[in-house]
Amino acid sequence: GPFQRLAAKAKVVRLVLARWWRGVWRKYLASYSVYVLECEGGKYYVGSSLRRKARLAEHLSERGGSAWTRKHKPLRTVESVDRIPSRYYLGVEASKTAEYMLRFGVNNVRGAYLSHPRPFTAGDAPMLSGFIGHFNDLSFRALE
């Protein structure tokens, strides 16, 4: 009857409002963490998450949190930046990845959109120099 139709409409409204609220929360209210893990063999992994502790537990689990941390077991967290607004966390993650690549070498660090486990080769040099140079304020003008 009419009560059941009203209950069905209320359920739809609740679902729509819940989805809207999740979007608002993620876009405007959520804060991310960017973390750096030191891994076995002098390797590093830069990651980000809304739930840092749970994500770190995933990295330490048997299944591993990423292909890189499955291959190179994390030993400890060496750095963490917390409370990053959602519109900035990807830039912070990329910046940290570039910083660590400059310090420890491109084949010893993964993070941001460079998280694949395969080694970089000479063919990757133009992309890597642009990525690392941009985030570390390096100038290549003297080379021209």
Question: Do residues 111 and 98 lie in contact, with contact meaning Cβ atoms separated by under 8 Å?
Answer: no
Task: Please report which confidence band the pLDDT of residue 23 belongs to, taking 50, 70 and 90 as the band edges.
Answer: confident
| pLDDT in the model for residue 140 | 67
pTM for the full predicted model = 0.78
| pLDDT in the model for residue 51 | 86
Q: List, in sequence order, every residue forming a beta bridge with 34; answer none if it has no partner.
A: 48, 81
Question: CA dihedral defined by 14, 19, 21, 27, rounded to 10 degrees?
Answer: 180
Task: Please report which confidence band the pLDDT of residue 43 belongs to, taking 50, 70 and 90 as the band edges.
Answer: very high
User: What's the domain range around 36?
Assistant: 31-143
The reply to whether 113 falls in a domain is: yes
Could you give the number of structural domains in the chain?
1
| pLDDT in the model for residue 141 | 65
* C-alpha span between 48 and 111 (Å, rounded): 9
The reply to whether 17 falls in a domain is: no
Nearest to 47 by CA among 26, 30, 22, 67: 67
The reply to whether 50 falls in a domain is: yes
